[in-house]
Structure formats: structure tokens, C-alpha cells
């Protein structure tokens, strides 16, 4: 066994999952006491809370006044799907993927929508596609932050202002942690359970005027399920963007989202959220810089995520073994820390390379991440000793 002593300081909150993510600091069920439980979401109180969630989202994210903001079913996945099914096919599309969720959108475009003019651009885990290769006169579908690969788009500079196509951006682990250039994005989607630590199953959909124009002037050559329909009689269903949701939302989840938004405002809005995520990511970056057994999956610092931090084990005794052995070793570290109650859900995503994935979004405390780094070193040494003993 390792001779390294077990650390004395434990993270106060061991929840480092990349979704659903940790609740905001100080959260308790008491925060939801004003939820409109047992009331219709179509009643005055229900509509007012849904509209407040929309307006607060607009305020904190800085969404332009002429963009629509709506609450839609089925989390971020539902938001992306309803847009893809509703607008794609009017022109060619570039599907851009560098991790598993982007790959999922590629599959839908090719095998479900069966789009005739569908070009696919891909990059491996830890990398992103060269944006100069994307044709923005076509529609473009991409993820801003690769939740399962630990990468992000550094900025929107490569997206032209005079593009002819629509930019459709899955921003689910970027919104509220990274600055989204809305003037370069026609569709932005995300879910409550990521950076703000909200509850799952509800998606957010933000549409530019150009996206609205497409919806009102293009009829897709496919049947649309009810939960995907955003127009009536050739006009946008404005009710969706005023709190009149397509399906029944959970008013308990709505209240939780309102609480998270209120907390966001209390720490300085999006700038405060960005700062917390950056500080958290810096704690992990400092640790990686002084630690020889681990490194970032993303080699280029310019594209590293400040929320879903993906790590690989580079110690020669482990990295030189088979993929299955590397995977088993990483899982053993995850299991050891889980049993200790100091870190939950920090394994790499099932489709990603073997390693660790640690959430560093705004609801996580930097002190907890600092404490976690010592436990990671301890767990590595302990598992390496076991690994070498068994070899």
C-alpha cells in the first residue's frame, strides 16, 4: 500500500458531478418554500414564475432584447432536437463534433433527419475543429463547451457577422460560465442542471431574429411531434417565450431555477459566475502543473473548459498499459474516493478516453477543489501500489 497519509481536510461538499451539478452554496429545501405546488402552470401564479425565469435568464446572461428566450421540454437535448427538426434542410448544414454530444447531433442529422446536404467536421477528444474550415453560409450545429472532452470554443471571432446560415449552439455546460457572443449565435440551448446546479428535465431555448425568420418562412419536409412545434399558422408561437410552455413543467424545478438565478444576481451576475468558474479551474490547473501523474485531456490551454475539466493519467506505469487496464485504474481511483465520501461522480464519460472528469462550475467552492486535489494524490498512490503489487 501507499505510504502517503490520508489527507486531514475533506471537501465540505463532495458533489463534483458534471450533471446534474452541485447545488449553489448554502442551498436547502427551504429555498423552495414559495414554489407554486399543486397549482396549474397556466394559472396566474404559474405563468408569472415561468415568465420571471425567462426574464431573469435574459437579464443575467445579457441576451439581446430582440432575441426570444423560452422554456422547453426534455432538457438541453429537447431544445437542440426541436430546433434541428424545425429548421434544418432549408440549406446545407455543417455538423461539427468534438465529443459525444456533438456526435449525437451528427447521428440525428444523418440517420434520423437524413439530410441530403450534410457535411461533417470532427476532431478528437481534447481538440476542436478548425473554425476556418466551417462554411457559415451553411447552417452550422456545434457545442460551445465539450462536456465530455473538457474543451470549449475560445471565442466567436471566427463566426462572421454577415453569415447566410444559422449558427445553432448547444451551450449547456457553457451558459453562465463562459461569455457567449449572442450576436454570433442564432440559436443557443442549455439546461438548468449544469452551471447553476438546477434540477433536470427542462431546457432553455434562445432564438435570434434570424432564427425566428427561418421558423416562420421554412416548412420542413417532415412531420413534427407536438413538443417540437414552435409555429402556428406560419407565425412563431410567442406564448412559448412568455412562459406558456408546450408541456407541463415542474413548478418545484422552476422555483429551484429562480433560486439559482437569484443567487447568481447576488454574486454579481454573469461576471461573478465567470469569476467563480475561472477560479475553480485555476485550482485544478495549478495542481496539474505540479503533479506528474496527471494532465489535461485538452493540451491547448486556449480551448480548455473551465467547467467540465477532463484529465488523463500520464504516469508511465499506468499510461503504458492497455486501454482496458487504464480504464480500470481510473475507475479504481473514482471508486476509492467515492467510498471515502470525498468525491462523487468524477469518472470520465463512458465514451471518452479513460480518466477523470471534475466539475468546476460556479456552484462549486474553490476550497473544496483544493481539498480534493490532496485526496486525488492519495488515491492515485494507493491504487498504484495495488496495481504494482498485482502485476
How far apart, in whole angstroms, are the C-alpha atoms of residue 168 and residue 83? 8
Tens place of pLDDT per residue across the chain (391 aa): 457 899 999 999 999 999 999 999 999 999 999 999 999 999 999 999 999 999 999 999 999 999 999 999 999 999 999 999 999 999 999 999 999 999 999 999 999 999 999 999 999 999 999 999 999 999 999 999 999 999 999 999 999 999 999 999 999 999 999 999 999 999 999 999 999 999 999 999 999 999 999 999 999 999 999 999 999 999 999 999 999 999 999 999 999 999 999 999 999 999 999 999 999 999 999 999 999 999 999 999 999 999 999 999 999 999 999 999 999 999 999 999 999 999 999 999 999 999 999 999 999 999 999 999 999 999 999 999 998 888 7
DSSP code for 234: T
C-alpha cell at position 251: 413548478
What is the pLDDT, as a whole number, of residue 4?
Answer: 87
What is the pLDDT, as a whole number, of residue 390?
Answer: 83
On whether the 268-390 domain is CATH 3.90.1150.10, my answer is yes
How far apart, in whole angstroms, are the C-alpha atoms of residue 302 and residue 128? 11
The SS3 assignment for 111 reads: helix
Element (H, E) at 125: none
How far apart, in whole angstroms, are the C-alpha atoms of residue 316 and residue 302? 26
Residue 358 β-bridge partners: 309
Pick from 129, 24, 29: nearest CA to 365: 24
What does the domain layout of the chain look like in residue ranges? 34-265, 268-390
Q: Could you read off the pLDDT of 150-204 as tens digits, one per residue?
A: 999 999 999 999 999 999 999 999 999 999 999 999 999 999 999 999 999 999 9
Cβ neighbour number for residue 180 with a 10 Å cutoff = 24
Report the CATH number of the 34-265 domain: 3.40.640.10
Element (H, E) at 52: helix 44-61
What is the pLDDT, as a whole number, of residue 52?
Answer: 98
Phi, psi of 5 (to 5 degrees): -75, 145
Tell if the pTM clears 0.85, that is, is over it.
Answer: yes
Q: Could you read off the pLDDT of 37-68 as tens digits, one per residue?
A: 999 999 999 999 999 999 999 999 999 999 99
Q: What per-residue string of b and e applies to 183-210 under the rule 16 or more CB within 10 Å gives b?
A: ebbbbbbbbbbbbbbbbbbbbbbbbbee
- One fold for 34-265 and 268-390: no
Amino acid at each position: 500500500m501507499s505510504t502517503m497519509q490520508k489527507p486531514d481536510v475533506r471537501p465540505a461538499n463532495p458533489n463534483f458531478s458534471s450533471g446534474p451539478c452541485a447545488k449553489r452554496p448554502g442551498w436547502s429545501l427551504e429555498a423552495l418554500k414559495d414554489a407554486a405546488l399543486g397549482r396549474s402552470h397556466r394559472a396566474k401564479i404559474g405563468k408569472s414564475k415561468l415568465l420571471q425565469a425567462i426574464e431573469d435568464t435574459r437579464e443575467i446572461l445579457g441576451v439581446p432584447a430582440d432575441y426570444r428566450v423560452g422554456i422547453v421540454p426534455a432538457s438541453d437535448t429537447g431544445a437542440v432536437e426541436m430546433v434541428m427538426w424545425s429548421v434544418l434542410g432549408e440549406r446545407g448544414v455543417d455538423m461539427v463534433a468534438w465529443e459525444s454530444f456533438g456526435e449525437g447531433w451528427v447521428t440525428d442529422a444523418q440517420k434520423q433527419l437524413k439530410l441530403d446536404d450534410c457535411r461533417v467536421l470532427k476532431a478528437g477528444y481534447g481538440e476542436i475543429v478548425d473554425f476556418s474550415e466551417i462554411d457559415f453560409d451553411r447552417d452550422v450545429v456545434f457545442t460551445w463547451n465539450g462536456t465530455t472532452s473538457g474543451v470549449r470554443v475560445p471565442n466567436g471571432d471566427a463566426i462572421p457577422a454577415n453569415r447566410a446560415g444559422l449558427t445553432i449552439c448547444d451551450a449547456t455546460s457553457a451558459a453562465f460560465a463562459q461569455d457567449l457572443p449572442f450576436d454570433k449565435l442564432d440559436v443557443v440551448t442549455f439546461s438548468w442542471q449544469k452551471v447553476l446546479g438546477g434540477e433536470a428535465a427542462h431546457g432553455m431555448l434562445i432564438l435570434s431574429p434570424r432564427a425566428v425568420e427561418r421558423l416562420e418562412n421554412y416548412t420542413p419536409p417532415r412531420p413534427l411531434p407536438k413538443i417540437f412545434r414552435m409555429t402556428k399558422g406560419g407565425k412563431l408561437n410567442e406564448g412559448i417565450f412568455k412562459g406558456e410552455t408546450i408541456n407541463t413543467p415542474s413548478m418545484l424545478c422552476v422555483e429551484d431555477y429562480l433560486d439559482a438565478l437569484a443567487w447568481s444576481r447576488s454574486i454579481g451576475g454573469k461576471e461573478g459566475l465567470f469569476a467563480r468558474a475561472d477560479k475553480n479551474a485555476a485550482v485544478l490547473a495549478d495542481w496539474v502543473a505540479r503533479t506528474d501523474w496527471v494532465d489535461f485531456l485538452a493540451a491547448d490551454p486556449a480551448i480548455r473548459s473551465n467547467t467540465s475539466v477532463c484529465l488523463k493519467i500520464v504516469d508511465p506505469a499506468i499510461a503504458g498499459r492497455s486501454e482496458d487496464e487504464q480504464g480500470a485504474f481510473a475507475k479504481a481511483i473514482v471508486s476509492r474516493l467515492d467510498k471515502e465520501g470525498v468525491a462523487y461522480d468524477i469518472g470520465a464519460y463512458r465514451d471518452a478516453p479513460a480518466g477523470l472528469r471534475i466539475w468546476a462550475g460556479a456552484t462549486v467552492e474553490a476550497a473544496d477543489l483544493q481539498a480534493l486535489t490532496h485526496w486525488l494524490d492519495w488515491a492515485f498512490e494507493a491504487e498504484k501500489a495495488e496495481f504494482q503489487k498485482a502485476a
